[in-house]
Structure 1
Amino acid sequence: MPIADRIDDTGLPLTPEQRLAQSRLALLDALIPPPPPQRSRGTGSAQGVAARSASVLRKLPWLDMGRNMARRWWQRHPLHAAGQLAHPLLQGYASRHPAKLVAGAAAAGSVLALTRPWRLLSGTALLALLLRTSDVADLITTLAMSRPEPDSPPRKEMP
């Protein structure tokens, strides 16, 4: 410690207790992170660009329709049902043995990455797995229902 730090404002040397208190304060000052710099809310900031792009994306009518179609497709997919069934089991196991669950997931991921089982299927088979016939019908129904209908007289139904 330099000599100047060992002398207080009156010119007398510091006691060991005072030096200890000063070193503790210096350690606390070093441990406290500095406050984040103030960001301006100008138009050129990253937040302004993100807000503008989000507002532009909200104005696209097909984006909301696409999100709804994807959500509906996933809710009807068989893997979603399997995930819904496995969720309570995995949640209980994860609370009891989190390390085993992470190790098992890492092992399963590495086996998948090494064996690449998707290479055994053709592109057509993968497409057929993704889009089942009922999902294609649902997709067409969703597209037809999402478009606003022109103002036309009501159709008469046959008896």
Structure 2
Amino acid sequence: MAELDKKITPAGYAVLRAELEHLWKVERPQVTQEVTAAAAQGDRSENAEYQYGKRRLREIDRRVRWLNKRLAALEIVRASPTDGKIYFGAHVTVEDEDGEHNTWQLVGSDEWDVKLGKISVVSPIGLALLGKRVDDEVTVRRPKGDLELTIVAIRYDEYRDTE
């Protein structure tokens, strides 16, 4: 499972990369300028703008360090297998016991967002779906009871290498 935790889709990688760029090139210089201006006003110990600015700089620096480490450790996966099985990156449509359909994309732990239809590949549902095919039935064990799903469709995004 640790190996799965280091995978990310090209779109997910681009989002993290954009966040790093924004923090480093836009937000950090802006906050640094604000802290400098606040420091010029005198007594720093009672200057709320200065205190807040310094705290925000620490938060930005912490996030920048984390993003740099995480981006270096991630493996971008451009899945488009032809064997009909579910792998990382697949968009999977399932039908539950009530006949309701849901479509989810199996993504890395850095990019999941249920509201956007993206679930982590290491979640109980994600793990249950891996390696399955259309018409397979899976049982997902949950605290509130088992969930029975039937796989209705599988598709993969088409990626073009731009690197």
TM-score w.r.t. the length of structure 1 is: 0.24
Tell me which of the two structures has the higher relative contact order, counting C-alpha pairs closer than 8 angstroms and 6 or more residues apart.
2
- Calculate the TM-score normalised by the size of structure 2: 0.23
Q: Which has the larger radius of gyration?
A: 1
